Structure 1
Amino acid sequence: MKKKNYYKLKLTNSAIYYIEKLMKKKKNIKFRIYVTGGGCSGFEYGFKFEKKINLDDIIIKKSNIFIIIDPISIQYLIGGEIDYIENLNGSKFIINNPNAKSTCSCGTSFNI
């Protein structure tokens, strides 16, 4: 488990606030960010809360929260910024990814 933020992954205050708020409802959980194949642009972001940490997971501590990312997903997220937005379309986590060559209009999928 690597624990330092060598990957320059940033979180906005809004994302930190919302993750902390959700984590207060459950004990001993971490926020996992992952990338899977699919979506309308090629890759898709995923977010979930879970207790399990794999031996090869990267753990990034921000404020009072821990973010878990698997070693394959982290390569797509280097230098990115995680944000949480609320608007007329709903509320969601988004990633502003400097590595993405294109993204879909909803912001949940991207292409490298």
Structure 2
Amino acid sequence: MNAVTETVDLQAPPPIPLVFTDSAAAKVKDLLAEEGNPELKLRVFVQGGGCSGFQYGFTFDETVNEDDTVLDKEGVQLLVDPMSFQYLVGAEIDYKEDLEGAQFVIRNPNASTTCGCGSSFSV
């Protein structure tokens, strides 16, 4: 009698990379056109603070650091430093306009709690 053996890999799947939506890229493209500096890129970062322990931040930056993660979408570059990236793996960076206003939104599956303002979280 022949036995059939099947090997199953029980390692966790690789983390889902950061998602930069079409609407976020389009808005950044508009903002960059207003600035008139084609060298600017959008940097998203995580820093200590806010009512939940960490908070998100956005800034324009001309410099791409050696250890930055760079996402290209529709001619726009999104930069994330390594410390921030570990908190943002699997997150989605979006731009929404609704009755409450217009804003960049980060949907982060790593956040165990979020603040009502949407810019603060804890893990």
- Give the TM bin, normalised by the shorter chain: 0.7 to 0.9
Question: 2:106 matched to which residue of 1?
Answer: 95
The separation in 2 between residues aligned to 1:111 and 1:56, in whole angstroms, is 24
SS in structure 2 of the partner of residue 56 of structure 1: coil
What's the offset of the Cα at 1:89?
Answer: 3.7
SS in structure 1 of the partner of residue 67 of structure 2: coil
Q: Is 1:13 the counterpart of 2:22 in the alignment?
A: yes
Structure 1, gaps ≥5 residues long: 1-5
Which has more radius of gyration?
2
Moved beyond 4 Å, runs of 4+? none
Aligned length: 107
Q: Relative contact order (alpha carbons < 8 A, sep ≥ 6): 1 or 2 greater?
A: 1
AA of the residue aligned to 1:12:
T
AA of the residue aligned to 1:10:
V
What's the offset of the Cα at 1:7?
Answer: 5.3
The separation in 2 between residues aligned to 1:7 and 1:57, in whole angstroms, is 17
Question: Which digits, 9 at most, give the CA deviation of each residue in 1:40-96, with x for residues without a partner?
Answer: 111000001110222221111122111111000000000110111223443221100
Structure 2, gaps ≥5 residues long: 1-14
Give the alignment of 1:1-112 within 5 angstroms: 8-25=17-34, 26-112=37-123
Which structure has the highest strand share of the two? Answer: 1
Percentage identity across paired residues of the two chains: 46
The separation in 1 between residues aligned to 2:21 and 2:64, in whole angstroms, is 24
SS in structure 2 of the partner of residue 74 of structure 1: helix
* Alignment RMSD: 1.5
